Amino acid sequence: MRALVTGGAGFVGSNLVDALIVGGCDVTVLDDLSTGREANLTGAVASGAELVTCDVFDAAAVRSAFEAANPDTVFHLAAQAQVSDSVADPDRDARVNVLGTISVLEAARLSGVERLVYVSTGGAMYGEAGVYPTPETALIRPESPYGASKFAAESYVSMYTDLHGLSTYTLRLANVYGPRQIPHSEGGVVAIFCERALLGKMSHINGDGEQTRDFVEVSDVVSALLAAGNSRVHGACNIGSGLETSINELVAAIDGLVDGGLEVDYRPARGGEVRRSVLDPSLALEDLGWQPTVALGDGLRGTLDHFR
């Protein structure tokens, strides 16, 4: 397989790149390095992966990269993924998530890509769903520009299948955590808590801590991506644990794994964030033969080991 991974220097992307290389694939990474880290690809580049630095909404640069790499499979992970940033600058959010996806789809169409896997979001797109765990049939009701832009991009992905016959599949991810997660971004709550616990520093919770999330470990997400890349089914499915965990419960779990525990304080809730989020992953088993395998406790131990 000749694979191209957009956003491949990031947290999830670099873990995917490593797995592709282990599987014997030729890999090209497209990343603007705004949030991704070149250091995440040290081993991959040493093993023959190529890094092309460019913005995904630079259509000419993306097409040039596709022409050079001639991939048969594309994993599109590059995105603006911060809810607060999307609220502050919805124009940039749309440029990266919508126009960037269009440029990747066009490059894939023009270069004859056989399969494209798009990485989307679950919780930010379903909003306050009212059905938990939330299935793919739930009403789409994003409460932030980020959720809206990811849904718009999903529509383009599906349309390219209907209009041009491009084989595509979309994964709607829950809250991914694990090794290489950046302990600074708002979506990286597990990494933030783990790093600060090990440093003996206080962590902050926005709101009362009773908001819930569905935490899925990155190796499980990588296995879902590989399954989607090897499949030819069309559509979209949730990728999550199917388990609802409050932020307070997460704190308690980490507190029990670290000498000295984890101290937290509480701050006002942020706008644009959902109260409850847990995804129903049963369609992933039906479509891809995938189901989560890493328990939260085991995943937290692995994440803590990464930061030690």
Catalytic residues: 146
Backbone angles phi, psi at 117, to 5 degrees: -110, 125
Cβ neighbours for 184, distance < 8 A, ≥ 6 positions apart: 192
Cβ neighbours for 214, distance < 8 A, ≥ 6 positions apart: 122, 123, 133, 174, 175, 240, 241, 242, 243, 244, 245, 277, 278, 279
Q: Tell me the sheet residues that pair with 134.
A: 279
Q: In whole angstroms, what is the distance from residue 29 CA to residue 13 CA?
A: 9
Cβ neighbours for 200, distance < 8 A, ≥ 6 positions apart: 260
Closest C-alpha to 160, from 125, 119, 117: 117
Burial class (CB in 10 A: 0-12, 13-18, 19+), 84: middle
Q: In whole angstroms, what is the distance from residue 275 CA to residue 86 CA?
A: 18
Answer for the pair 40, 24: CB distance below 8 angstroms, yes or no: no
CB neighbours (10 Å) of residue 132?
A: 17
Residue 133 has which token pair? 């765990």
* Residue in this structure with the two tokens 């509480």, named with its chain if needed: 266
Answer for the pair 97, 149: CB distance below 8 angstroms, yes or no: yes
Residue 48 has which token pair? 């023959």
